[in-house]
Structure 1
């Protein structure tokens, strides 16, 4: 899908053009180098940074091999009762990012409806391919369930959300949690999720949009999947490959209409609906990937954020699940 400047929302154009210089037609080596440099910069800028107005803390959760996962926890300043627990998984093409960079999202969620955010610093693809990130996020989800009382959260209101690669990990976790039966998820928020490694849809092919395009998408998938790339990829790595969408939690998602993930998100929503899953979905005209983060004050970004928060508030007030031992 070829994207012209005129197709981009006017308020989003300038920032998109600036960022486009970083992503246009990178080689595989250049992509990896840029992800490594970005990780260093994000560590320097965000790591350990608290969010004003929230109680922020850090814990370490054990992996099965004895190593540990760094996890950030964000709470309202005052809690009088147990509240929903939200596992929030940051984006970054599986290859960059830290949980602290989503601080504004945590503020919005907690302002909308009291909740506790648990944000894992999962292993990135530049260090370890699938299933490292997936395993880390699932370990932290189980930890949330088993430490619900200590975290001041309700184990019948465990939710999962994330942007981009974090959205894909969200969708993958809900599939796995359903299949494994160890923890029940009440609600999921996979925003413009990176869920299909095959890149066969019209929006994923030859997409030259700002911020994230077909080239960056291909290199990111190759890095994440490692030796599995181009082979028999499991649905827990690329959730668009799932064939059974029944008994998944109610869902909210949105996507821009000029980004590579447009069509796979639309298809994911349709698959959920056909399986009887309740879905709130919106698509935003002229929006490239991550538009709500890149220009949060644009009117289109404010509309997307309000849409998400309205759905989240309803879920926080009305959605509960029975947890099994």
Structure 2
């Protein structure tokens, strides 16, 4: 049986359409520049109307010491007064793709539905900028956000960090840096199907070879580019962290047809064993980022409803 047969039928329809246009999926494009342009073009083609309930502002802020400045996009609910909870948002893309624009719709939706200030970070990508550049950019943006909480209208006692896929791995890596450097206090972290294990040894990392959305070959390639020939540390591959104590309460979800399934379940178990309050959801029939590709599917609506509810509860 192909793993494709295990996908929720409603969620599979847009996947089949994507693979019809691009056989093999995005990773079938070997040149990373062309691959990025293809992804950006497909995202730009989506007709996402502006949300009148949210304002957006881009700011350039200091990056890591001795490194370039970074851009942050700040989302705020229209008409909100006083201080609001804050959500620091890290986009996905396997450490090699993606940008703030590509996840603008999700960041806007979270801002609107949670009633929070969302700060989305534009970090450098591999292979041009391997580890630790991406996680250091994310950490620098988090530090700036916390230092400027008053100006941003954020309650520093209600600051969460969110990211999916590579953004999920960077969410955990950034939280580890904040813990180890005595950095900003985080109320909550939401790493969504996080990319956290460079070893590609789990059963699910061997199962997912032909789905077309982040299959085994593409993951191996992305890790090689991200690590740049260096040995991984816990901030690059959080499964390698020996001590998970002191991290914020967590929410993790992943699909049964996602290459990251087993590493994410194991990591959630380790968080619980370390005494970290952790909510874990494994979504039957969901492939990697299916809630984005099949946004109208009932499964996708359930996935998003749980995330929004968890963010509201954590930041109440």
State TM-score, norm by structure 1.
0.89
Retained in 1: the 8 A contact 2:94–2:166? yes
Match of 1:305 in 2: 304
Is residue 35–residue 126 contact of structure 1 (8 Å, CA) maintained in 2? Answer: no
Distance of aligned partners of 1:43 and 1:287 in 2 relative to their CA distance in 1, 3 Å threshold: closer
> For structure 1, which segment, 288-297 or 50-59, has the greater mean C-alpha deviation from structure 2 after superposition?
50-59
Cα displacement string for residues 269-304 of structure 1 (whole angstroms, at most 9, x for unaligned residues): 000000111111111111110011111110111111
Change (3 A) 1:149 1:291: same
Please, which runs of 5 or more residues in structure 2 have no aligned partner? none
Contact 2:3 2:207 in 1 (8 A): no
Does 1:159 pair with 2:144?
no
1:93 corresponds in structure 2 to 94
Name the CA shift for 1:276/1:31 in 2 (closer, same or farther; >3 Å).
farther
What is the DSSP-based 3-state SS (H/G/I as helix, E as strand, rest coil) of the residue aligned with 1:138?
Answer: helix
- Residue 145 and residue 26 in structure 1: after superposition, are their counterparts in 2 closer, same or farther (change >3 A)? closer
Counterpart contact for 2:26–2:212, Cα < 8 Å: no
Cα RMSD over matched residues? Answer: 2.3
Which runs of no fewer than 5 residues in structure 1 stay unpaired?
A: 318-325
Take 1:59 and 1:292, find their aligned partners in 2: how far apart are those partners?
A: 29
Change in CA separation of 1:29 and 1:128 when aligned onto 2, cut-off 3 Å? farther
Match of 2:190 in 1: 189
SS for the counterpart of 2:196 is coil
Counterpart position of 2:219:
217
Distance 1:115 1:27, change over 3 A: closer
Aligned to 2:109: 108
In 1, the alpha carbon distance for the partners of 2:29 and 2:290 equals 26
Could you tell me how far apart the structure 2 residues matched to 1:164 and 1:27 are? 15
User: 1:44-193 to 2 correspondence within 5 Å?
Assistant: 51-63=51-63, 64-65=65-66, 67-193=68-194
Cα drift, residue 44 of structure 1: 6.4
Q: Please, which moves more after superposition, 264-273 or 10-19?
A: 10-19
Q: Deviations over 1:64-102 (max 9, x none)?
A: 226211111100111211111111001111111111222
Contact 1:42–1:98 (Cα < 8 Å) also in 2: no
Which residue does the alignment assign to 1:321?
none
Check whether the contact 1:259–1:289 (CA below 8 A) recurs between aligned residues.
yes
Matched, 1:6 2:5: yes
With over 3 angstroms needed to count, the CA separation of the structure-2 counterparts of 1:179 and 1:42, relative to structure 1, is farther
Distance 2:137 2:51 in 1: 23
Q: Which deviates more, 171-180 or 20-29?
A: 20-29
* Count of residue pairs the alignment pairs up: 311
Separation of aligned partners in 1, 2:16 and 2:291: 15
* CA separation of 1:79 and 1:33: change in aligned 2, threshold 3 A: closer
Distance in structure 2 (CA, Å) of the matches to 1:44 and 1:27: 19
The 1:29–1:13 alpha-carbon spacing in structure 2 relative to 1, beyond 3 Å, is: closer
Q: Please say if residues 3 and 207 of structure 1, whose CA atoms lie closer than 8 Å, have aligned partners that are also in contact.
A: no
Contact 1:3-1:258 at 8 Å conserved across structures: no
Larger displacement relative to structure 2 (288-297 or 112-121): 112-121
Q: Which deviates the most, 35-44 or 64-73?
A: 35-44
The residue matched to 1:269 in structure 2 has which SS? Answer: helix
How far 1:244 sits from its partner (Å)? 0.8
Kept in 2: contact 1:25–1:215 (CA 8 A): no
**Alpha-carbon distance between aligned partners in 1 of 2:289 and 2:27, rounded to the nearest angstrom:** 22
